[in-house]
Amino acid sequence: MVILRGRSVWSGALGGIGLAAFLDETVFHQLLHWHHFYDGAGPTAGLVSDGFFHAFGFVAAVAGLFLLADLQRRRALVPRAWWAGLLLGLGGFQLYDGTVQHKLLHLHQIRYGVPLLPYDLVWNLVAVVALVAGAVLVRPRGA
């Protein structure tokens, strides 16, 4: 049986990107109402970036799950590599959202009417921790 380590990482990473986009949409936009649909600040570049963020996030989630199902059926999944990919995807996308989209492009902020610094720090710190954990896990055991 062939073990597909690289594809396991990719499947996890796509799933992680999808999870980041999903959490952003459900938790921060819909449940907490912290994020705004569009606050009309920032340049058009932010709008385009956000459009890609949403579309890519949802498509990535679906692709990651189908890849996972395919790996399972071939018995080629490396669970550790998949989890590493998930953390890398989640952390990478969250860091991109927290730095480029929120700060550089001023698309919208994490929350309104509060001091932003603690929110920004926690948001990006969580992303960095996920990235580091993913980077540690992604190396094959014993290597």
Partner 1 sequence: MSAGLQALPGLPLLLAATAYASAVRRLARRGDGWPRSRSLATAAALGLLAVAVLPPLAAHDEDLRAHVVQHLLLMVAGPLLLALGAPVTLTLRSLRTPSRRRLLALLHSPPMRLLVHPLTVVALDVGGLYAVYLTPVFEASEEQWWLHALIHAHMVLAGTLLAVVVAGADPLPGRPGVPMRLALVVATGAAHDVLARLLWTRGWGDAARLLAYGGEAADVAFAVAVLSAWYAAGGRELARSARRVATS
By the criterion CB under 8 A, which residues form the site for partner 1? 25, 37-38, 40, 47-48, 50-52, 54-56, 58-59, 61-63, 66, 69-70, 73-74
Minimal distance, residue 93 CB to partner 1, in Å: 14
Judged by CB, which is closer to partner 1: 30, or 136?
30
Contact 132, 95 (CB under 8 A): no
Minimal distance, residue 94 CB to partner 1, in Å: 19
Judged by CB, which is closer to partner 1: 5, or 29?
29
* Dist CA 43 CA 25 (whole Å): 21
Judged by CB, which is closer to partner 1: 57, or 124?
57
Minimal distance, residue 107 CB to partner 1, in Å: 10
Judged by CB, which is closer to partner 1: 38, or 112?
38
* Dist CA 92 CA 61 (whole Å): 15
* Dist CA 71 CA 63 (whole Å): 12
Any idea what DSSP says for residue 140? P
Minimal distance, residue 46 CB to partner 1, in Å: 10
**How many Å separate Cα 100 from the centre of its chain?**
13
Of 87, 69, 96, 99, which is closest to residue 7 (Cα–Cα)? 69
* Dist CA 113 CA 38 (whole Å): 16
Minimal distance, residue 74 CB to partner 1, in Å: 7
Judged by CB, which is closer to partner 1: 19, or 137?
19
